[in-house]
Structure 1
């Protein structure tokens, strides 16, 4: 049961949505910006048309489901899967409150074969990332919450235009359970992906004949957000996914959508490079994922602070020698040396060069 204090209702570009108030980042983004992953939604909306059938694997509370349902219209259909019971309850409420009768919410996970999976249920009233809950194989030991798992092929869909997958590491399994549908219906396939290993599994599972592969970068902060709030708490952060476009669609992919970058890839190495150089949470500049730029910045910083580093290094060596002498009973005393060390650590030079010393240590380790 969902408690009233756990949720709130916000208006979004395509209706209203009920969300968990302490969910971060989805709930936070809805509260402050009136939406979540709007750049990604723009891309997916550009790839579907009125009357299309869409599968939303990992629908959460329905941000994408609602947008895609509006896009395909009443002649289309959106089938949304969500395994967490409380999140599924909000998904159903959001479809109902927006009058979406052509959206079907299913309380199940999607995977490679029918069965059950388990997950650790979060505290929905506490500060948490509800969308980061991961499914795992059910062991029969009774640990965690159990939920039914279906396959896409098990639905025997006659048509499918878009398969959107956000399954927290289970993207490859979802594709494996939909290979027949993919080969028959030739849908656009979009899979959330942020690591080399996950990408390798997805590429191995995906039947790629007749498809063109892109890595998709979408900005976490939307400058065109519904509330026109320009206080960017996400910084340069981008989400990433793999987009498989049928060759006919790949001839003219959408390339002018705000906050969206498509990177054409041929091999896993191409994908890995695109993922590794994507700005993530905490990155402050466009070079934070560029090893060559980082090394050059470090060398420049070392050059600028070489005198301070040399002086402090000499001072450290001197104090270490005196400390060893003091430990064997000679003067000055250990207490006096500790006082001198504390004074040095509190100095302006010490504080200014702290990042340089840390980076130099890292660089030296990498050179070994």
Structure 2
């Protein structure tokens, strides 16, 4: 009897030791997460709490920020405003003080990048609380038609989780509830929703000798460049809005119009922006001169094209100030040949060209 009690006591102590060890691991992990999240500039209290809860998701958000920043710079590479100084200091803080159409694009592309990167990280298994989309898991019956049978398989992108997390994190910085906040929230939603709408269905054939007796299909993310291109089209068609007060508080409308005709029909008609439109409150500055107030870096020193009529032409990019011409000569390797074995032999060629920069 004493031996049984002894074994039970040892077992209880063993369980207590394991529980204590697990508690210490959680405490160390929590402390490490708190230190990590405390060092990231620009986070709101709500964002810091989310960071402590899911630090692995914040890594994906950082990748999403980089995606959005690179895509923004690519899309505006030849414009007066080229997105070069956005998100340089505080990665997750507010960007662009002026509520312009450029601000609309940056919020949309940042939100799209966040949803995209979190969704991709889930599919790779890099976030512990998410994975593949269970709604598109492999089933015996599958889908398709008798003529073209297929079934769900592989790992479908769980874009709904990515959108939810991106919405919680990106919208957590919008605290003021003024017209600019409503604009940012609208463009945030447009960006992340676009990622879901652009999901594509990829399939793989199965069968003997390359035949396609059955196909396995899954939902996958598109190349992010396609998301940036689509948002650029929305940027070019962005709508101006204004704030109005209603029974439910402040709302944004496209315009105020009045009915023509009788005096009875003088009530303004409110035209609401569509969910997938980019919207802005203020006209864009010309971005010709450097201005901290508008977030403009100016175009002085920017490389331009002397010929042509696009946004990167010297006439448009230099804002009428003219341009400088610099004659550049450099030596490059040319006429390279592979010699057996194993050497590459190149000649040296002199190259001369002209470079034009805005005054």
TM-score (norm 2): 0.29
When the two structures are superposed, what TM-score results if normalisation uses the length of structure 1?
Answer: 0.28
Higher RCO (CA 8 Å, separation ≥ 6 residues)? 2
